[in-house]
Structure 1
């Protein structure tokens, strides 16, 4: 009431449950069709030292209920029309923000786009060193890092291989392992540069030759969503 937020934790949780019930189904582009976003604003009237723990506990409850949110924004209030009585502790704010990024964001991404999920029509935008970054067209699209150079300004289907705190890593969907470069192969989950070199030397590859080059059945078995021969 003091801050005219027009909601409570209970109402917010109810809304998140409703949106998940309708929108968590995966759409044609590989992402859930519709997910909510959350904004946490620190420094509002009525805030106490317990607010930080309450916010984190609320987010943990979402994970406990297997509820998804697309983004979690963490902001400090900026007074415009009046001053607020609360002064944000910068160290406590930073610690809480890092907790949310470490304990919530990564796990939320892992559930939202599991390994092997194909994200269609990812538009490549920029390159930083050997990493190409792209996003799907849409509201708040995920930032996707592809660990090798790709032509910019094109659409690619990308399969998820790993997650960061607020972004994901992926590679081209089901590329031909016999035509792949060293950097493409090393981007496969569980491969790395050493195994990639062995795979390159073993070309031309069939499943058995690849299995022998990798020398780890669990790694080999996990590659089926990513490659063709």
Structure 2
């Protein structure tokens, strides 16, 4: 008996699985079949598209198509599966038992913000199974009585599937540390976390450590505590409303000592929870910064700074709570490694929520300006439109019609006036970005990103085909310009030199023609101010500049 899993990817508020990430749910599904003695293969939907493998499932006894998006995003590494592609796979494979699973079954289908999900007709499927628990039940696996008693068996059992991912070993492995939302006062109007995962529950350190041991054997080098709605709340006792920071210390220390990852990041944090548990949260954040790797981001689901919108959609807490948490994250995470902060907050803003008006755009913008004027840093600002899912409270609420012209104007204003300025401070001239993986090119500019949470996009006039370390020499609105570490000025051509601050066309031409050999000759061409900039960059590049 054998099975083929086709990973159509998932993007949830508290889980990500679009390359170069792999969702933990893939390991769980693979583990369920492997524990039943069924050999299991794995393909991504992008591999299916590129290689024309639509009928590949006919070579197997079982075909499992997994996927579903519950938060909108823009993707570089891959494209989530569409409902028509799921239907095509089902119709093209008549021999195996066909199973569709994931959020597309649990809550419905949509790929774009500002739309309402619907239930697709997958009539060709033999089984529609919401999640890995229904898959385990289908395979007659004993659940052990609780969510994590099952998953603690499935995750290690299915870990070898990671090696089959086309990005491996340059792959970010999501780690499940908790499920559901820890809030005591209900959920946000648009919440799907509670629909998909039920009541809040955190996974035991013993279970996670067992998975760490297996991931080390597999050869995993990059991990993220991304399968969690609030990393800071790990170990939270809802009944007593208490948090034990020593559990987070043990968890993060175990990840560092066992896997010894090259990249170790987190994802979600609830700023309201942090503000309401300030002392304990401080200790947890200090543990994060002690063991994580540079360039990390904690995502704050702010959604709106408008008090009326916050109240109507039960977003919880206050704007003051949010500001407190942003300040705390800046204070603890400001330590820089090679010019890049260890940990910064990022915030999510959501539009299309009940109660929003034209005034909400101004309120959000003004609060971002306030953050900026106080010298606080945000790693990124995500601006999205709401996805509406049946089962969420927002489905039955009156929602505003989004003025798309105003929305786009607002988004570009924030990118131009806030994002771009934050980027210059977060990745200053001379900062080093390690391990940039090439992804695509536009004209003669070559782009790549390191592994990580919201990794920075690096564009370079110098072609690179392998993982490369870069020095920042310029800034865009959402990306930086870099030169590879070790670059030498006199080895660059005229086109590449133009990207260096203060050089320009004429100076680049003079540098190529004259190829200065002394410091004085270089200053004569570029001037003293530009030479100061060159000197700053040179110390980081390590090339034999003058």
1:177 match: 489
Q: How does 1:123-134 map to 2 (within 5 A)?
A: 123-134=437-448
Q: CA RMSD in A?
A: 1.9
Q: What pairs with 1:67-216 in structure 2 (closer than 5 Å)?
A: 67-81=376-390, 82-85=395-398, 86-148=400-462, 150-156=463-469, 158-173=470-485, 175-203=487-515, 205-214=517-526, 216=527
C-alpha distance in 2 between matches for 1:185 and 1:58: 39
Q: 1:15 aligns with which of 325, 339, 344?
A: 325
Q: Distance in 2 between matches of 1:202 and 1:126?
A: 33
Structure 1 residue 83, shift from structure 2 partner? 4.3
Structure 2 residue matching 1:171: 3-state secondary structure: strand
> In 2, are the aligned partners of 1:175 and 1:226 still within 8 Å (CA)?
no
Matching of residue 25 in structure 1 with residue 373 in structure 2:
no
Q: Deviations 1:54-107 (Å, cap 9, x if unpaired)? A: 100110011011111111111122222214422222222122112111111111
> Mean alpha-carbon deviation: is it higher for 219-228 or for 50-59?
219-228
Cα distance between partner residues in 2 of 1:204 and 1:99: 42
User: Residues 151 and 90 from structure 1, CA distance in 2 versus in 1: closer, same or farther, beyond 3 angstroms?
Assistant: closer
Q: CA deviation at 1:204?
A: 5.1
Structure 2 contact 468–484 (Cα < 8 Å) conserved: no
Report the Cα distance in structure 2 between the residues aligned to 1:127 and 1:74, rounded to whole angstroms: 25
Q: Which structure has greater helix proportion?
A: 2
Is the 8 Å Cα contact of residues 136 and 142 (structure 1) preserved in structure 2? yes
Measured at CA, do residues 94 and 125 of structure 1 come closer, stay the same or move farther in structure 2, by a change above 3 Å? Answer: closer
- SS of 1:178 mapped into structure 2: helix
Task: Report the 3-state secondary structure (helix = DSSP H, G, I; strand = E; otherwise coil) of the residue aligned with 1:141.
Answer: coil
- The structure-2 alpha-carbon separation of the partners of 1:222 and 1:50, relative to structure 1 and needing over 3 Å to count, comes to same
Distance 2:397 2:482 in 1: 44
TM-score (norm 1): 0.89
Q: TM-score, with normalisation over the residues of structure 2?
A: 0.39
Moved over 6 A (4+): none
- How many residue pairs get aligned? The number is 225
Contact 2:516 2:522 in 1 (8 A): no
Unmatched 5+ stretches in structure 1: none
Q: Quickly say closer, same or farther: Cα 1:192–1:44, change in 2 above 3 A.
A: same
Q: Cα offset for 1:123?
A: 2.5
Paired with 1:186 and 1:97, the residues of 2 have a C-alpha distance of: 30
* Counterpart Cα distance in 2 of 1:204 and 1:48: 60
Unaligned runs of 5+ in 2: 1-310, 539-543
Shift of 1:116: 2.2
Cα distance in structure 1, aligned partners of 2:515 and 2:385: 55
Q: State the shift of 1:181 in Å.
A: 2.7
- Of 54-63 and 121-130, more deviation after overlay is shown by 121-130
Report 1 or 2 for greater relative contact order, CA contacts < 8 Å, sequence distance ≥ 6. Answer: 1
Aligned residue among 10, 31, 35 for 2:344: 35
Which structure has the bigger radius of gyration? 2
Distance (whole Å) between structure 1 residues aligned to residue 416 and residue 490 of structure 2 = 38
Decide whether aligned partners of structure 1 residues 41 and 12 sit closer, same or farther in structure 2, where only a CA change above 3 A counts: same
Aligned to 2:243: none
